[in-house]
Structure 1
Amino acid sequence: MAPLADRAPQQSTASPAAPPAGHPPVLPNYPRAHVPTKPVLSRDSFRRAGGHAPSILDTREALLVTSGRVAIALALRQMGVGPGDRVLMPSYHCASMIEPVVWLGATPVFYRIHGDTQVNLEDVAAKLAGAKVMLATNYFGFPQNLSALRAFCDQHQLMLLEDCAHCFLGEHQGRPVGSFGDYAIASTMKFFPIYEGGCLVSARHSLAPVRLQAGGFKFEAKMAVNALEDGFEYRRLGTVRRLLALPLGLKNFLLGQLKRHSHGAPAAMAPRSSEGGFGFDPAWLHKRGSLFSRLMLRLVSRGRMGELRRSNYLRLQSALAGLPGCRPLHAVLPERVYPWVFPLYVDLPGPVFDSLKKDGVPIVRFAEYLWQGVDATVCSNSVELSRHVLQFPCHQELQEQELDWMIDKIKTAMLAARAP
């Protein structure tokens, strides 16, 4: 797809206007997705397949934490970011990328991106004054020109934070993603069948100064049980579900009673990122990832993950090719790229989004709400992408019939949106 022109965006939107920063939006009451939006645990999760898929964990050192946003905060701390500092941030973003910067007292300075999501280095160069760190995002699993970004940061004495929240797997010019930044972060819960998880890595600096603590028994138990329940909800692990039906039913009853009779809000047992919430919660800043999640990172096959993500992506691309009213954000899937999702540019996103959500089709809307003040005058490409790009899962735990059903629903919604 040719880059989008840097022009004023269309006014049609797929969702309400962005809420004030720090305030979650009021969302329509759509039904539960009939297909898992993210990987869920199944018997096949542990099947060895595919070759070696390079990943961010192939860098020198890694710490497993509870979310990508926590990893961003820890990375910025390690880079000495504090009150009054300026951090160069992409104008195409979600709030969880910006909130750690604000929490540290620093100022986010938003730079432009091109229509294909690549960093606009000319705009970055115009905003260097007083900047200490540049965060660059590998959107949807497609790496930036990381060698060029590294050279640019070295030239201008900037520290580079490589955001691999969408890009746990992959490489650029023969090196794994995450190895170009001074620090890099990832969101493991986007790629593994786990309920929480992120990581902080560095190919250039020791992570020994970062001290992490265990989250406690309640946290550990909740992360394991919730990951199992996510699998049960989508009809995986049938035998395990039947064996655990009684104790899990009792657990849900007791939790319900506890909430009913408790005075005040109970202490959070999971990070907001796991519960689908907005905001950055510093209470989880020094908690290590759960034992269950760390175990899954060892047991789940990265080779199978990479192979199936590419296969599912290409199947979506082939099935939707030529469909009027939409086009893939990227015309080609390069070798050694392992997508997080399948990003689809939709001409009329409003009716398509609403129709698909009502049918229970899982849609990810990255950057649906841009930070206050980030509008077309800051970067029209970012506004255009935030309104028109819908993302659909292509993860390794999708079953063939689920993918077929999703493709059929997308085609139906696209054709209906263009009907007179």
Structure 2
Amino acid sequence: MGNSTVSNLDDNASAAAAPVPAWPPAQLPTSPVLSLASFGHASAPAVPSILDAPERRYVTSGRVAIALALRQAGVQPGDAVLVPAYHCASMVEPVIWAGATPVFYRIKADTAVDLDDVAGKLDGRCKLLMATNYFGFPQDLPALRAFCDAHGLQLLEDCAHAFLGSVGGRPLGSWGDYAIASSMKFFPLYEGGCLVSARHPLATVQLQSAGAGFEIKSMLNTLESGWGYGRMPVLRALSWAPLQLKAVLWRLLKARRRADAAPLAPGSSDGGFSFDPRWLDKRSSLMSRLMLRLVSRRRMGALRRRHYQQLQNALGQLPGCQPLFAQLPDGVYPWVFPLKVEQPQALFRTLKSRGVPVVRFGEFLWPGVDASVCANSVTLSRQVLQLPCHQELRASELAWMIAQVRSAVEASAA
């Protein structure tokens, strides 16, 4: 769900409480940014996605979608929810909000769900299994579906890392009772997530607009994030005067807002990890919903695979480094390129100081989740660094990032 940018690998506290170093700005976009090329169609087959589900609701973040899924699944105070031990805080906080107890289960070294460990944790309280398709690589979803059916569990398919793809001829998101995704990780959006179901109606999930301020902020931030990395310069020049007026009006609006007023946008859009229930009934912005319809999935899928393979070819044989996944199977459309490294702390600091947009998923595990709970989760949280491979990376940006990583790794090995 969230992306960690902090650096203390030995701290097992929540990321929300950890200090964030003042790293220089990233020299290329960590997530997709809007450009004219976003709407182009690559010469590739149609790409299945979580949006192929018949029931869909567009919300402001993946964590909100998790909370709504728990509510739809009938999770009540006193119930237990099975959560992977490799996680970020924004996956766990909706469970706490629902009044349920998170029961952390083991994953294997390749991030696969350890079903033997899950089976050993089942009791009368367990109502739902949350399974994450890490970094865009799907779990064995037919096996998970069969396991849940055999044990009377509902399955929540966490596609926050895996918006695109299919398993067994069915799109991701169709194997779970419910599935969630974080569209911000795949589309050039300021905010956005979705809750879908191929098995249950979502008629009781009623959403409303978050207001004009939210709609305007979502549109402008989507545009400005692209302008900040040199995209659409002509549009930026034409928008100069309106943006100056916007800045003045925004300052006036902030000055008049009460200190306890609800924020104009969810904290998830600005990198926060906390769960705010005030966004449970809020619909994703019109700008975000338009982008989901207009941005080319074919181009997204083709370029993500191409960029991932370039990173794997360039970095996979560096000393002290290995790709988390040995191969990129057909039909997998990765969120990021996860690289397992032997000296992660020093490399992370070096790359961040150079403006390389490296992140770490699950760097801060929930308090109490340590090697005795799942040694693999601790190892992955400490040793796996993620580099962007999204579709909006320019060839020059990708080449620069590869050069920086190679230089940093070779310097540390010297």
TM-score strictly above 0.5: yes
Aligned partner of 2:208 in structure 1 is 213
Of 49, 61, 67, which aligns to 1:67? 61
2:34 maps to amino acid: L
Superposed counterparts of 1:210-359, under 5 Å? 210-256=205-251, 258-259=253-254, 264=259, 266-359=261-354
Of 100, 111, 120, which aligns to 1:126? 120
CA contact (8 A) 1:14 1:351 kept: no
Cα deviations by residue, 1:180-218 (Å, 9 ceiling, x for unpaired): 000000000100001000000001000111111111111
Of 83, 87, 106, which aligns to 1:112? 106
Cα deviations by residue, 1:222-272 (Å, 9 ceiling, x for unpaired): 000000000000000101100111221232244345546766355311111
Cα deviations by residue, 1:271-329 (Å, 9 ceiling, x for unpaired): 11001112000010011110000000000000000000000000000111321110100
1:371 maps to amino acid: W
CA contact (8 A) 2:9 2:363 kept: no
1:296 maps to amino acid: M
2:82 maps to amino acid: L
Of 8, 19, 30, which aligns to 1:15? 8
Aligned counterparts of 2:289 and 2:19: Cα–Cα separation in 1: 34
Cα deviations by residue, 1:68-110 (Å, 9 ceiling, x for unpaired): 0000000000000121100000000000000000011100000
Aligned partner of 2:83 in structure 1 is 89
Q: Does residue 31 of the first structure (1) align with residue 28 of the second (2)? A: no
Percent sequence identity is: 61
Query: How far apart are 1:60 and its partner, in Å?
Result: 1.8
Deviates more, 1:245-254 or 1:387-396: 245-254
CA contact (8 A) 2:15 2:364 kept: no
1:36 maps to amino acid: P
Query: What SS does the corresponding residue of 1:357 show, helix, strand or coil?
Result: helix
CA contact (8 A) 2:87 2:361 kept: yes
Aligned counterparts of 1:391 and 1:268: Cα–Cα separation in 2: 30
Aligned partner of 1:40 in structure 2 is 33
Query: What SS does the corresponding residue of 1:220 show, helix, strand or coil?
Result: helix
Deviates more, 1:92-101 or 1:54-63: 54-63
Cα deviations by residue, 1:320-340 (Å, 9 ceiling, x for unpaired): 132111010001000000000
Aligned partner of 1:141 in structure 2 is 136
Aligned partner of 1:7 in structure 2 is none
Deviates more, 1:19-28 or 1:64-73: 19-28
Cα deviations by residue, 1:344-383 (Å, 9 ceiling, x for unpaired): 0010001100000000000121001100000000000000
Q: Say if 1:254 and 1:357 are closer, same or farther in 2 by CA, change over 3 A.
A: same
1:298 maps to amino acid: R
1:334 maps to amino acid: P
What TM-score comes out, normalization by structure 1 length?
0.94
Deviates more, 1:265-274 or 1:91-100: 265-274
Aligned partner of 1:399 in structure 2 is 394
Query: How far apart are 1:417 and its partner, in Å?
Result: 1.6
Aligned counterparts of 2:297 and 2:265: Cα–Cα separation in 1: 26
Aligned counterparts of 1:360 and 1:252: Cα–Cα separation in 2: 27
CA contact (8 A) 1:189 1:196 kept: yes
Gaps of 5+ in 2: 1-5
Deviates more, 1:142-151 or 1:51-60: 51-60
Aligned counterparts of 2:249 and 2:289: Cα–Cα separation in 1: 28
Aligned counterparts of 1:84 and 1:278: Cα–Cα separation in 2: 24
Q: Say if 1:258 and 1:65 are closer, same or farther in 2 by CA, change over 3 A.
A: closer
Q: Say if 1:348 and 1:22 are closer, same or farther in 2 by CA, change over 3 A.
A: closer
Aligned partner of 1:57 in structure 2 is 51
1:81 maps to amino acid: V
Aligned partner of 1:386 in structure 2 is 381
1:160 maps to amino acid: L
Q: Say if 1:213 and 1:262 are closer, same or farther in 2 by CA, change over 3 A.
A: closer
Query: What SS does the corresponding residue of 2:282 show, helix, strand or coil?
Result: coil
Aligned counterparts of 1:66 and 1:188: Cα–Cα separation in 2: 9
CA contact (8 A) 2:107 2:374 kept: yes
Aligned counterparts of 1:180 and 1:287: Cα–Cα separation in 2: 26
Aligned counterparts of 1:215 and 1:262: Cα–Cα separation in 2: 16
Query: What SS does the corresponding residue of 1:368 show, helix, strand or coil?
Result: coil
Q: Does residue 179 of the first structure (1) align with residue 202 of the second (2)? A: no
Q: Does residue 412 of the first structure (1) align with residue 407 of the second (2)? A: yes
Query: How far apart are 1:389 and its partner, in Å?
Result: 0.1
Aligned partner of 1:8 in structure 2 is none
Cα deviations by residue, 1:139-159 (Å, 9 ceiling, x for unpaired): 000000000000000000000
Query: How far apart are 1:14 and its partner, in Å?
Result: 4.7
Query: What SS does the corresponding residue of 1:297 show, helix, strand or coil?
Result: helix
Q: Say if 1:19 and 1:243 are closer, same or farther in 2 by CA, change over 3 A.
A: farther
Q: Say if 1:18 and 1:213 are closer, same or farther in 2 by CA, change over 3 A.
A: farther
